[in-house]
Structure 1
Amino acid sequence: MRLHRNLCFAVIDGLTLIFNEGKYADKVIQQLLKRDKRWGSRDRAFVAETTYDIVRWKRLYAEIAEVKEPFDRDNLWRMFAVWATLKGIKLPDWKYFENTPTRKIKGRFDELSKIRKFKEAIPDWIDNLGEKELGAAVWTKEIEALNEQADVILRVNTLKTTKEKLQAELFDNDIETEFLANYPYALKLKDRANVFSTEAFKNGLFEVQDASSQKVADFLDVKPGMRVVDTCAGAGGKTLHIASLMENKGQIIAMDIYANKLHELKRRAKRNGAHNIETRAIDSTKVIKKLYDKADRVLIDAPCSGLGVLRRNPDSKWKLEESFLEKIKTTQQDILQQYSRMVKPGGKLVYATCSVLPSENQQQVEKFLTSESGKDFIFVKDDKVLSHKSGYDGFYMALLEKKA
Structure 2
Amino acid sequence: MKLHRNLVFATIDSLDLIFNENKQADKVLKNTLKRDKRWGSRDRGFIAETTYDIVRWKRLYAEIAEVREPFSRPNLFRLFTVWATLNGIKIPDWKQFEDTPTRRIKGKFDELSKIRKYRESLPDWLDELGEQELGKKWDKEIAALNQQADVVLRVNTLKTTVENLQNELADLEIETETLPGYPYALKLKERTNVFTTDAFKNGLFEVQDASSQKVAEILDAKPGMRIVDACAGAGGKSLHIASMMENKGQLIAMDIYDSKLIELKRRARRNDVFNIETRVIDSTKVIKKLIEKADKVLIDAPCSGLGVLKRNPDAKWKLQPEFLDSIRATQKELLNSYSRMVKPGGELVYATCSILPSENEMQVKAFLAREEGKDFSLLKEEKILPSKSGFDGFYISLLQKKEKSKKE
Fold match (TM-score > 0.5):
yes
The answer as to 2:233 corresponding to 1:234 is: yes
State the match for 1:259 in structure 2.
Answer: 258
Partner amino acid for 1:14? S
State the match for 1:292 in structure 2.
Answer: 291
State the match for 1:45 in structure 2.
Answer: 45
Asked if structure 1 preserves the Cα contact closer than 8 Å seen for 2:25 and 2:314, the reply is yes
For 2:149 and 2:339, how far apart are their aligned partners in 1?
Answer: 33
Asked if structure 1 preserves the Cα contact closer than 8 Å seen for 2:228 and 2:296, the reply is yes
Shift of 1:100: 3.3
Shift of 1:355: 0.1
RMSD: 0.6
State the match for 2:315 in structure 1.
Answer: 316
The answer as to 2:201 corresponding to 1:195 is: no
Alpha-carbon displacement from aligned partner over 1:369-393 (angstroms, at most 9, x marks no partner): 0111100101101000000000000
State the match for 1:280 in structure 2.
Answer: 279
After superposition, where does 1:4-403 map in structure 2 within 5 Å? 4-135=4-135, 137-403=136-402
Aligned residues: 403
For 2:343 and 2:211, how far apart are their aligned partners in 1?
Answer: 27
Partner amino acid for 1:89? I
For 2:366 and 2:248, how far apart are their aligned partners in 1?
Answer: 35
For 1:29 and 1:195, how far apart are their aligned partners in 2?
Answer: 16
Shift of 1:221: 1.7
Alpha-carbon displacement from aligned partner over 1:60-91 (angstroms, at most 9, x marks no partner): 00000000000010110000000000000000
For 2:295 and 2:100, how far apart are their aligned partners in 1?
Answer: 63
State the match for 2:406 in structure 1.
Answer: none
For 1:331 and 1:280, how far apart are their aligned partners in 2?
Answer: 20
Partner-residue secondary structure (3-state), 1:265: helix
Alpha-carbon displacement from aligned partner over 1:72-115 (angstroms, at most 9, x marks no partner): 10110000000000000000101121243323001000000000
Identity of aligned residues (%): 74
Partner-residue secondary structure (3-state), 1:103: coil
Alpha-carbon displacement from aligned partner over 1:15-68 (angstroms, at most 9, x marks no partner): 010001010000000000000001111100000000000000000000000000
For 1:311 and 1:99, how far apart are their aligned partners in 2?
Answer: 32
Partner-residue secondary structure (3-state), 1:185: strand
Partner-residue secondary structure (3-state), 1:233: coil
Alpha-carbon displacement from aligned partner over 1:305-350 (angstroms, at most 9, x marks no partner): 0000000000011000000000000000000000000000000000
Normalised TM-score (structure 1): 0.99
For 1:75 and 1:286, how far apart are their aligned partners in 2?
Answer: 53
Asked if structure 1 preserves the Cα contact closer than 8 Å seen for 2:148 and 2:310, the reply is yes
Shift of 1:222: 1.3
Partner amino acid for 1:80? F
Partner amino acid for 2:111? E
For 2:215 and 2:32, how far apart are their aligned partners in 1?
Answer: 33
Normalised TM-score (structure 2): 0.98
Partner-residue secondary structure (3-state), 2:374: helix
Alpha-carbon displacement from aligned partner over 1:265-307 (angstroms, at most 9, x marks no partner): 0000000001100000000000000000000000000000000
Partner amino acid for 1:118? Y
For 2:386 and 2:203, how far apart are their aligned partners in 1?
Answer: 28
Partner amino acid for 1:112? L
For 1:173 and 1:312, how far apart are their aligned partners in 2?
Answer: 25
Asked if structure 1 preserves the Cα contact closer than 8 Å seen for 2:78 and 2:101, the reply is no
Partner-residue secondary structure (3-state), 2:231: coil
Partner amino acid for 1:291? L
Which stretches in structure 1 are left out of the alignment for 5+ residues? none
Which stretches in structure 2 are left out of the alignment for 5+ residues? 404-408
Partner amino acid for 2:377? I
For 1:300 and 1:133, how far apart are their aligned partners in 2?
Answer: 23
Alpha-carbon displacement from aligned partner over 1:186-210 (angstroms, at most 9, x marks no partner): 0000001110000000000000000
For 2:156 and 2:243, how far apart are their aligned partners in 1?
Answer: 6
